[in-house]
Amino acid sequence: MNTFVDPNQLESFFNARPSEPPYFLFAAGLFICLTSGLAFAASVRAEMGRWYKNPNMEYGSRWMRLQVAFPFAGLVLGLGIGFAAALMSIGVSTVFAWAIALLLTPVVGGLIWSRIGKQMGQEALDFYIDQQMHQQS
C-alpha cells in the first residue's frame, strides 16, 4: 500500500474553493448569532436584575457565569461560522477560511467576554456605591 501523498493532491486540498458562495453557512451563522445573542441578552438582564434585588448575594457566582456563558458560546460559534463563510465568499480557500476563523474567533470572543465582564462589574459597583450613599442619607 502506497501512503505517499501526491503534492498535486495536497495543493488542490489547500486551494479548494467552493463553487458557489456558502450562503447556507452564512445564514446558519447569522441565525445562531441572533438566537444566541437574544438568549445571552436575556440571561445577562435576568442575572443583573437578581443581583440588583439582592446586592448581598455573591456577584459572579459559578452558576451565574455558566448561565451566561452558554449563550455567549453560541454567539461566538455563530460569529465563527459566519466569518468563515464570508471569507469563502470573497475567494479565500476553504481550508484557510476555516483556519483563520478558528484562530480569530476565540480571540475576539475572549476580548468581548472580558469587556462585558468589566462593564457588568462596573455597573454592579456603581449600583452598590449608590445603595450605600442612599442608606447613609
Tell me, yes or no, whether 12 lies in a domain: no
- Map residue 74 onto helix, strand or coil: helix
Residue 99 lies in a domain: yes
SS3 35: helix
Query: For residue 77, how many other CB atoms are within 10 A of its CB?
Result: 16
**Residue 126: inside a domain:** yes
Confidence (pTM): 0.75
Domain limits for position 81: 20-136
Q: Is the Cβ–Cβ distance between 89 and 22 less than 8 Å?
A: yes
pLDDT tens string 43-93: 888 877 777 777 665 655 677 777 888 999 999 999 999 999 999 899 888
Distances from the Cα of 134 to the Cα of 9, 42, 130, 131, angstroms: 72, 28, 6, 5
pLDDT-based confidence at residue 10 (cuts at 50, 70, 90): low
How far apart CA 101 and CA 105 sit, in angstroms, is 6
Tell me the pLDDT tens digit for each residue of 99-129.
999 999 999 999 998 888 788 777 766 776 7
